[in-house]
Amino acid sequence: MAELKDVKGIGPKSLSLLNKIGINTLEDLVTHYPFRYDVLKRDDLSKIEDGEKIIIDGKIESVPILMRFKAGLNKMNFRLVTPSGIVGVSIFNRAFLKSKLLVGTDVIIIGKLDKTKNVITASDIKLDVLSNKVKIEPIYHCTSGITNKNMSTYINMALLMFGKEIQDYIPKKYQEKYNFVNKKTALNIIHNPSTGEKLKEVTIRLKYEELFQFMFKINYLKQQNKKEKNGLYRHIDREQMNQFIKTIPFTLTNDQKIAVEEILNDLESPNRMNRLLQGDVGSGKTVIAFLAMYANALCGYQSALMAPTEILANQHYQNLCEFLKNTDIKVALLTGSTSKKEKNEIYKKLNDGTISIVIGTHALIQDEVAYHNLGLVITDEQHRFGVYQRANLQNKGVKPDVLYMSATPIPRTYALTIFGDMDVSTIKEQPKGRKKITTYVKKNSEIKDVLSMMYEELKKNHQVYVIAPLIEESETSDLTTVNELRDQMKLAFKDKYRIDIVHGKMASGAKDIIMNQFKNNEVQILISTTVVEVGVDVPNATTMVIFDADRFGLSTLHQLRGRVGRGTSQSQCILISDSDTERLKIMEREDDGFVISEEDFKLRGHGDLFGVKQSGDMTFKIASIKNDYKILLQAKKDSKEYLEEEETAADSLKEKLIQSITKVN
């Protein structure tokens, strides 16, 4: 298979920019779908509004004047006669066309009209005939250094050179059944639609493909699951459980109580537990996981809790140690940065059963880890993991019960459709005494306000998170960097407060030290990349400031915001951005993660920078579970039928679909 760098026009620099926005393969590039289309009118000059983007037909009336600037930039100006008057045209970087732009030539100009100057700033000029009354222009999520035009060029070049190599995941049978065009044609049309109807048609086709692939994956894993043995039978001492629950420093909410009950029942039942525990950020899922692991340990089985980041694993570990301090249950922490020696020690003790509960990251599912009698597996922030990873745990004993926890709520009907036999516990109620977090959208120019809002909180001995999306890694990035932010904060707050940094590239030990200092209020302002996004719990932090907020998906913002408002004080979240304010305003209005995730479902996959990281189950490029539910149901049915057809066992497409399961995650 060809690679991105094989596409003509993509050099090392554009390659790294593309990588930055999550485009790593040829397939990523050609499925980088437009997030919207501009429909350009073709009309009389007189009927066009100031600043409107238009297509206009005309004849060149004056010899183009060419100006060259440094860095290879150039600009041409000429006059254009149109049926409704003369207009000036100026266009950048088309010097190579000069010899063709003779006086009297018919051209079509696409651009924006400045009515007062009577000049069109053209984005494109066409010498061929355009037959349509309107032009549909795809608009892509880009990054600085790659323009919309560049993106379109790369995609079309990739399709031209390698279109045939792009894997089509819809089996022939269904292609024919629904009269779908092939993948290459579909991609060509979605990136260059000539009419609205055609666009609609191929959009459905591409959505179907994506959902087919997804449902095939789910069905396949379910099928694999069924082949496995049934679950454990345990007897849980409810009296002992109740006594233990009384030692927790707060009272469980009703929803928490119900969830615990459901899980304990599952653990006791001889059927294998396969349960999703969903609840908004801050609703208190962790304590439920702890109770489940406690119950499991009482019955003599091991538990593993898997978290998506080391910070979170570490936090769970510390909390769990505190939680179990009056018991003799042995707990261990296993992450990528656990030393080799320690790791081997832990492997040994997991193998012989000395350790009852292990908390960790992906390190838990490495091949070296073999459990003595693993009875329960819990994954926190489930949406961060892929389906395949969860299925990968090794165990000497029977197949363990599984609990998934997620703060990205999925409507129950959808969850049932997708996960089929999975049970769902939902926590709707937040713990008592929580106040709604006030959210503000601010411009970069309002930074002074932001600083004084921070100061107000700091004076009350509260703490502040400041989020920057990237650390200095490419000089081309105009994003505010963590270090710059620190300097800015130091300048503003002098030595009054301690400011520190955590970011993804830091060694984990160093990260933990700073997180702990923040937890103990030895650091008051924590500047960070999104490593704090999930799960981190420091109740004394009351302010969350997010720079370049437009770079994040709404669910990510909601997760980040969920880091504050964890204590009893009023908390606030400040989103700083000069663009995309409409979308961000949703955050001012909404505090229900469910509604936000629905909004995000609609918008996601389109330029959410964290699309790469969130390569969990729910990330779609074009389909939406909510809006394309009918297609989803059909794809579910078809993929199941396809999976179960015996004679296709050696079918190479089936193989490719199965491979794509590992690849996707």
**Binding positions for ligand ADP, rule: CB under 6 A:** 250-253, 256, 279, 281-287, 407, 431, 535, 537, 539, 566
Nearer Cβ to ligand ADP (171/308): 308
Which of Mg ion, ligand ADP, none has residue 287 at its interface (CB below 5 to 8 Å by kind)?
ligand ADP
Q: Which residue is nearest to ligand ADP (CB)?
A: 284
Which one of 193, 284, 409, 535 is in contact with Mg ion (CB under 5 A)?
535
Q: Which one of Mg ion, ligand ADP, none is in contact with 309 (Cβ closer than 5 to 8 A by kind)?
A: none
Pick the closer one to ligand ADP by CB: 286 or 408: 286
Residue 518 beta carbon to Mg ion: minimum distance, rounded to whole angstroms: 17
- Tell me: does residue 22 bind Mg ion (CB under 5 A): no
Tell me how far apart the alpha carbons of residues 421 and 468 are, in angstroms, rounded to a whole number. 40
Q: What are the b/e assignments for 604-618, b being 16+ CB within 10 Å? A: bbbbbbbbebbbbbb
Cα separation values, 143 from 18, 140, 332, 643, Å = 8, 10, 42, 40
Pick one of ligand ADP, Mg ion, none as the site partner of residue 279 (Cβ within 5 to 8 A by kind).
Answer: ligand ADP
CB of 375 to ligand ADP, least distance (A): 22
Distances (CA, A) of 572 to 428, 466, 576, 617: 21, 12, 13, 31
CA–CA distance, 312 with 379 (Å, rounded to integer):
12
Choices 266-274, 535-543, 613-621, 651-659 (CB under 5 A): range interacting with Mg ion: 535-543
Task: Give 308 or 535: the residue with its C-beta nearer to Mg ion.
Answer: 535
Instruction: Kindly state the smallest distance separating residue 602's Cβ from ligand ADP, in Å.
Output: 23
Residue partners of 195: CB distance under 8 A and separation at least 6: 132, 136
Shortest Å, Cβ 320 to Mg ion: 13
Rounded to an integer, what distance in angstroms lies between the CA atom of residue 661 and that of residue 387?
A: 8
Question: Shortest distance, CB of residue 634 to Mg ion, whole angstroms?
Answer: 35
Contact 516, 509 (CB under 8 A): no
Buried b (16+ CB within 10 A) or exposed e, 531-562: bbbbbbebbbbbbbbbbbbbbbbbbbbbbbbb
Handedness of CA 125, 127, 133, 136 (dihedral sign): negative
Query: Which of the ranges 288-296, 320-328, 527-535, 639-647 carries the binding residues for Mg ion, by CB under 5 A?
Result: 527-535
> Which residues share a beta bridge with 576?
442
In this complex, which beta carbon is closest to Mg ion, that of residue 119 or of residue 252? 252
Number of H helices, E strands in the chain: 21, 21
**Alpha helical stretches, state H, 163-273:** 172-177, 183-191, 196-227, 238-246, 254-268
397 binds, among Mg ion, ligand ADP, none (CB under 5 to 8 A by kind): none
Beta strands 85-92; 74-82: pairing state: antiparallel
Residue 431 interacts with, from Mg ion, ligand ADP, none (CB under 5-8 Å by kind): ligand ADP
What is the smallest separation between the CB atom of 380 and ligand ADP, expressed in angstroms? Answer: 7
Measured from the CB of residue 417, what is the shortest distance to ligand ADP in angstroms? Answer: 24
In the complex, least distance from residue 274 CB atom to ligand ADP, rounded to whole angstroms? 20
Contacts of 173 (CB under 8 A, 6+ apart): 642
Q: Interacting stretch for Mg ion, rule CB under 5 A, among 86-94, 168-176, 207-215, 532-540?
A: 532-540
Longest dimension (CA), the chain: 94
Return d(Cα 296, Cα 303) in angstroms, integer.
7
Contact range with Mg ion by CB under 5 A, out of 33-41, 239-247, 344-352, 531-539: 531-539
Catalog residues that contact Mg ion under the rule CB under 5 A.
535
